Structure 1
Amino acid sequence: MSERSTARALLREAGTTYAEQAGAPLTDKPSPLYRLLVLSVLLSTRIKAEIAVAAARELGEFPTAQRMRDATWQQRVDALGRGHYVRYDESTATALGRGAELVLDEYRGDLRRLRAEADGDVPRMRELLCEVPSLGPVGAHIFCREAQAVWPELRPYFDKKALSGAEQAGLPTDVDRLARLVEPDDYARLSAALVRITLEKGLLQEITTPA
């Protein structure tokens, strides 16, 4: 397969963003952006991605920072438990409450204000994201990979994890060359697909083996 054909196959077979998988398709509005933040916190721990996604889906009952802050700690623990996010459920429930407080205090519940504060400076945006409890650099990369779907100043965003997937797939590991294989509106989907093939054994072979 050519590089472009491989990229198209990845989009077709594995190009669902993690936000979409969690039942929260991303738009540039406060609730979907906040749900992406929560998902990024969950995905950044040492736990299987499908469990983190399932937990994020359960936490969708608290779709805003206000609702997350107002939920009791036990309600957050219970939601995480329903998603089988049990190894870190108690500490994560605490972190989510503190994170909701930060988003309300600093950005009045609207992460578009974080974007405005960063003013197009992507490293600054990651710094601000890393202030969220239990997010850290890994979670900031996850957020940016997905948020590029609605925040064009992030594009193209392929971090080390995505580039590792590109290498496995025989695609360029130079960000600009990789970006030229798909349309800008598909960067987030390609990034998700590249990460997914690093996590799901045998997925790449399934995608690239002719029927």
Structure 2
Amino acid sequence: MSASQSAVAATLLDRHGTTYAREAGITLKDTPQPLYQLLVLSSLLSARIRASVAVAAARALFQDGMRNPRAMADASWQERVDALGEGGYRRYDERTATQLGDGAELLLDEHRGDLRQLREEADGDEQTLVQGLRETPGMGPAGAGIFLREAQAVWPEYAPHFDGKALQGAERLGLPQDPKRLARLAGDAGPAVLAAALVRAALEKKVADDVLEHAG
């Protein structure tokens, strides 16, 4: 681990070290409601739309009361569309509103609304967990990767997890591509925080430029 990599990682964490869950107002814990909220956020973030819009849409859904699968399922399709629109998530709002309702119903039917059942069934096997997550309507590989990237903070058996977008950010910043080496660079902040910051560096060149300027 070179001193320059340590400086870059420390600067990245200091200036951009916030998980997307926290940005969306989710206090992530290993309990049903915040885990469900993370599932919703991950699905929104996986669409071809700006991350800031996905975060705003998630916040709007939660602020409008759709904080758990029962509330999401009980909300009308139009209420879901309206909440997504409040967050600026208009490109896919109608399809996403349907998927959110169907996904909530599925989670209630299959797992009593509790994603910890998926964790228990997977028993630390990432592929099994991803397969379970992908049963959620609209949840593809990217969304499952985002969920794991953030959930590793409370499901440590999946850490360190740096998805492809996080590794793109690491490459842009001249940081290692190996998850274990990145985890060491994360230090006390933890790999979930570093992974989110790396994603920001991948998505926005100005973030990477800012870090490299201040790390020097």
Q: How high is the TM-score relative to the length of structure 1?
A: 0.97
- Please list every run of at least 4 consecutive aligned residues from structure 1 whose deviation after the TM superposition is greater than 4 angstroms: none
SS at match of 2:109: helix
Q: Does 1:90 align with 2:65?
A: no
> Is this contact kept in 2: 1:15–1:189, CA < 8 A?
yes
Q: How many residues align structurally?
A: 211
Name the residue aligned to 1:36: 38
For structure 1, list consecutive stretches of 5 or more residues without a partner in the other structure.
none
The percentage of aligned residue pairs carrying the same residue is 58
Cα distance in structure 2, aligned partners of 1:210 and 1:152: 31
Name the residue aligned to 1:4: 6
> Is this contact kept in 1: 2:13–2:193, CA < 8 A?
yes
Q: Which amino acid aligns with 2:22?
A: E
Post-superposition offset of 1:25:
2.2
Post-superposition offset of 1:184:
6.4
Cα distance in structure 2, aligned partners of 1:16 and 1:176: 20
CA deviation string 1:25-52 (max 9, x = no partner) = 2111111100000001101110010000
SS at match of 1:158: coil
> Is this contact kept in 2: 1:162–1:195, CA < 8 A?
yes
> Is this contact kept in 2: 1:155–1:184, CA < 8 A?
no
Name the residue aligned to 1:155: 159
Name the residue aligned to 1:183: 187
Q: Does 1:130 align with 2:168?
A: no
Q: How high is the TM-score relative to the length of structure 2?
A: 0.94
RMSD, matched Cα: 1.2
Q: Which amino acid aligns with 2:93?
A: D
Residues 184, 107 of structure 1: alpha-carbon distance in 2 compared, 3 angstrom cutoff: farther
Q: Which amino acid aligns with 1:145?
A: R
For structure 2, list consecutive stretches of 5 or more residues without a partner in the other structure.
none
SS at match of 2:186: coil
